[in-house]
Chain A
Amino acid sequence: MSDINDGMSDAGAFDGARPPAVEIRGASKIFNLGRHNEVKALEDIDLHIDQGDFVTLIGPSGCGKSTLLRLIAALVDASDGTVVVNGKTADAARLDRDYSMVFQRAGLFDWRNVSRNIELPLELMGWKSADRRRRSAEMLELVKLTEFARHHPAELSGGMQQRIAIARAMSFHPQLLLMDEPFGALDEMTREHMQNELLRIWSETGITVVFVTHSIPEAVFLSTKVAVMSPRPGRIAAVIDNDLGPRTDATRDDPAFFSNVTAVRDALRGGH
């Protein structure tokens, strides 16, 4: 584990000097501009995310939370406004591999075994094969799936596949993890287990996380800040500070947890 912390801590060491992880000002996104099927997905978004934060974007379907995540990832260009990631334009951050993304589907390559799936981003970055294998072993340890290194994705359950996807995303020690409803396709029990695992990885590595979900309890359990979004066009209705301290399973029954769930629910209703 210490290796993983080493890789991350040089990110943490410069905390004072480092720019915020994400700084969005007046961003909007219009799809199919000027055509009959024009859709205003996002309007006038301001969002500030500090290094080491765990921010969830929550809102009903179609509120543009996935689009906002893709704006940060530079997979979608903003129609207006600025998106700054780690002090650079979002696209520069993408090209510098400052972030990594996890999708709702694990999206593992079924022709590669688990270990080679984790090595994929490292291959793209031109790492030597011995280094890749070492890092892949570390990552398997991080997600506690070491014994499945040589399995193929089709042989793993949905929860295990998603853990491999997280290991793949973390493999090159990105500073920012963007997650698009990563546990949305999992059953409730696996989901709670994955939430615990994610929080463990987050606290072990000090990585910044932006997490899209439409589950209120998930948002409140996981994050330090909850950005509540309202639909058509997507706006950020409120950003709720969610300081529940270190999470345990007991947190899920904590009165503070429930009062924050209520606060998020009220904010979601207020958006209409």
Chain B
Amino acid sequence: MIDTADGAPAAADDPIVFEQRLRLQAAREQRRDRMRRTGRQIVVLAIFICLLGLAYSLYKVVGTAIDDSQSDWPVIGSILPESDDLKMPPVLDIVSGIFEEPRGTNEPFWSIVGKEAAFTLREAAVGFAIGVIVGLSIAIVLTTSGRLERALVPHVIASQTIPLIAIAPIIVIWGRKSFDFLPFEWQDWMSVSIIATYLTFFPVTINGLRGLQSPRPENLELMDSYAAGWVQTLWRLRLPASLPYLFAAFKIAATASVVGAIVGEISAGVKGGLGRRVLLEAQRYTTGPERLYVAVLGAAALGIFVFAVISSIEYGLVGRKGRETVT
């Protein structure tokens, strides 16, 4: 090998130095590509939102016309729902609703919704974290035996057929009445996290199981031939091999945790989050319909945010190495 320490002229001919330079350059290009892609994604998102607003406005014109002259348009009028400013507040009203200060407050509405989104995010994040731990634990236990897997997977699936709204009050009551053995005081938002957990553990278990079982038989034989123990095989083969599967599940679970938290807040009557906000704005819809739309947009933004967070963690952990196998 050529000694690269003794000067640049020799290094220029050194294939290894040359290759390293190529690789650095490739990494730089990759970073630039990534930034360009992110920029493009933001532009696409903005265009999409504009198009959505346009479609919304266009339909409103049609719906309002139907509403005004139902007898003139007998066919369309009976098929398409009618519209007016109350049913569909104008887009500009919704946009200005973001910045207006609702009566009785001296805080712009986006700031109120933002704080409530943060409250919901905490519930969702705790629920997601517990869901990942529980879901992965179940998957690992099921991996130990095919018989256990066949026996328990139907129950895991059945658990998801129970309506979330039905179990939410039960969990809140348990939290208030039965969780006093815990070292900290149980708060209602924690019950909402448990409700979110109920939605998040499922994709993690199902995908985790597939991922943990994804190593080829000869890879498992290889670990056996090295007299590797069960834990070593789990840690050095099964878990790393399951990362791409797990991240697919994490993305589903993260958005589901937001849904679970909002539904949990609504059905458990927990104050402080987006669920309560949606409920409140629905109740006083006639005095400010645009605020309900803003609250819903806030919920959507929160879902996109958690998805983006998981995606960037995935990129950092497994995306860079080009995991395509060529064996």
Contact = CB atoms under 8 A, between A and B. Distances in A.
Contacts of B318: 111
B327 to A, nearest CB: 5
A147 B15 contact: yes
Interface in A146-188: 146-147, 152-156, 158, 161, 178
A99 B225 contact: yes
A109 B240 contact: yes
Interface string A126-152: 000000000000000000001100001
Interface residues of B, number: 29
User: Interface residues of A toward B: which range?
Assistant: 20 to 34
The prevalent SS among residues of B at the interface is helix
B225 A101 contact: yes
A103 B325 CA distance: 16
B324 A154 contact: yes
The prevalent SS among residues of A at the interface is mixed
Contact of B222 (A95, A103, A110, A111): A103
Contacts of A105: 216, 218, 327
B225 A94 contact: yes
Contacts of A101: 221-222, 225
A153 B326 contact: yes
Given A111-B321, A120-B236, A152-B321, A106 B221 contact: no
A222 to B, nearest CB: 21
B52 interface: no
Given A94-B227, A123-B236, A124-B226, A154 B322 contact: yes
A66 to B, nearest CB: 11
A152 B1 contact: no
A22 to B, nearest CB: 15
B226 A97 contact: yes
Of B223, B324, B326, which is in contact with the most chain A CB atoms at under 10 Å from its CB?
A: B326
What 7 pairs across the A-B complex have the smallest Cβ distances? A101-B225, A103-B218, A111-B240, A121-B226, A95-B227, A124-B228, A105-B327
Given A109-B219, A161-B327, 5 more contacts: A94-B224, A101-B225, A107-B222, A153-B327, A161-B326
